[in-house]
Amino acid sequence: MKKLVIYSIVTVGMVFLMGCSDAIQVKASEYKTYKSGCSNNNAKACYYLGHMYEKGIGVRKNYRRASKSYRKGCKLDSDAACTALGILHTKGLGTQKSYYRAKKIFVKTCKNNNAKGCTELGKLYLHGKAVKRSVISATGYFDMGCKKGNAEGCYRLGLSYLSGQGVKRNFTKARESFDKACSDNHAMACYNVGSMYENGTGIADDTAIAKKYYEKACKNNLKEGCYSFKRL
């Protein structure tokens, strides 16, 4: 009997505790441009500058400066910058760790149709941080994030459908949600679709299709995707 291996935050087969962040395309050479733009009160430039400090792109990694840049971008009405600041609050990186401040930010940005804000709010409900734990509310926000175009939201929604937490278990919808996230290069979502095809979870098993998804997971730097691709 084949063993279903799913990248998840819930108990389904083999469990892996991993996260995923959305990729932002910035170049190291653009640091001075974004620094100047942020100094001139360009909200988008502040957001990109914060991202460069947070990830160490073109400059030494500095969470304090990242939070400062995100905060300025947020004050200039960049929902992306606000959400990024909220995430730093949940981790206590470069700023005070505060789930309550993060919640306030995510509620605002989600209402403003920021997809990532909705997904991050869902995570707070999933883990009961600054809110009463509710898997139903979490799934609802993951669904909102997914519909607005956030790959992590689609991945989390897929996990909800797969496990039956906060929603009726539905393997077809789980696979569709993972597939949508995979189309945006979410490595773990790609791996999960591959695993479902390999093991025939809610669909006829097909190792050829499974291998394609494992390959995509591998190309997005998930080592288990590389292993499974070679194994098949």
Is the same domain home to 119 and 161?
yes
pLDDT of residue 13: 30
Q: Helical H runs in the chain? A: 31-39, 43-55, 63-75, 79-91, 99-111, 115-127, 135-147, 151-163, 171-183, 187-199, 207-219, 223-231
- On the 0-12 / 13-18 / 19+ scale of CB atoms within 10 A, 13 is middle
Kindly report the pTM of this predicted structure: 0.89
CA distance 192 to 16: 12
The two structure tokens encoding residue 45: 């430039």
Residue 212 domain flag: yes
Distance CA(197)–CA(202), nearest Å, equals: 8
Mean local confidence (pLDDT), 120-131: 98
Mean pLDDT, the chain, rounded, equals 91
Q: What percent of the chain has pLDDT over 70?
A: 90
Contact between residue 160 and residue 135 where contact means Cβ atoms under 8 Å apart: yes
Q: How many domains does the chain have?
A: 3
151 lies in the same domain as 222 = no
For 117-134, letters b (16+ CB in 10 Å) and e give bbbbbbbbbbeeebbeeb
Which two three-digit tokens encode residue 163? Answer: 């496990």
| 19 is a domain residue | no
> Are 190 and 150 contained in the same domain?
no
Q: What is the pLDDT of residues 66-119, one digit of tens each?
A: 999 999 999 999 999 999 999 999 999 999 999 999 999 999 999 999 999 999
Give pLDDT tens digits for 199-230: 999 999 999 999 999 999 999 999 999 999 99
**pLDDT band at residue 129 under the 50/70/90 scheme:** very high
Rounded Cα gap, residues 170 and 55, in angstroms = 37
21 has pLDDT over 80: no
Q: Are residues 149 and 207 both part of a single domain? A: no
pLDDT at site 15:
25
Query: Are residues 114 and 170 both part of a single domain?
Result: yes
Please check whether residues 114 and 76 belong to one and the same domain. no
Domain with 34 in it: 29-81
Contacts of 127 (CB under 8 A, 6+ apart): 133
In a domain, 74, yes or no: yes
Q: Which two tokens stand for residue 67?
A: 């939070």
pLDDT above 80 (res 16) = no
